[in-house]
Amino acid sequence: MATNKTVIKLKNGTYCNSKFFGAKNRSMADDFKNEWLADITNFNGLIITAEKKCDRPVILFDGAGVFKINRSKDVAVAFLNITGSNLKIDGREATRNRERETGRNLN
């Protein structure tokens, strides 16, 4: 567990949540239920960065988001390539997802 004034250095590579699309043991029921990749609460001075500035570790997510930050100060994220699933869907699929989650039709 990280404490105040902690630096987390990620090695070069690809990181994702355990139920990420394409991960093992993932079912269709998990499609839209993935939570935040990391929940950061009550931290002061937390830095999440690449181990080497010349590398760009990749963080893939298909849930609520990557970092949920609550009641924390001075949290920094640097030298990471963060990619969400929104870049991989078209307008029709995005609208269908919105209708399913909110019940609102935007047409």
- Would you say 38 and 8 are in contact if contact means Cβ atoms under 8 Å apart? no
> Structural domain boundaries of the chain?
7-102
Specify the pLDDT at position 31: 54
**Whose CA is closest to 43, among 19, 15, 77?**
77
pTM of the model: 0.67
Question: pLDDT per position in the chain (107 positions), as tens?
Answer: 566 789 999 999 998 877 776 555 555 555 556 778 888 999 889 999 999 989 999 988 877 778 889 999 999 999 999 887 665 666 676 666 556 555 555 55
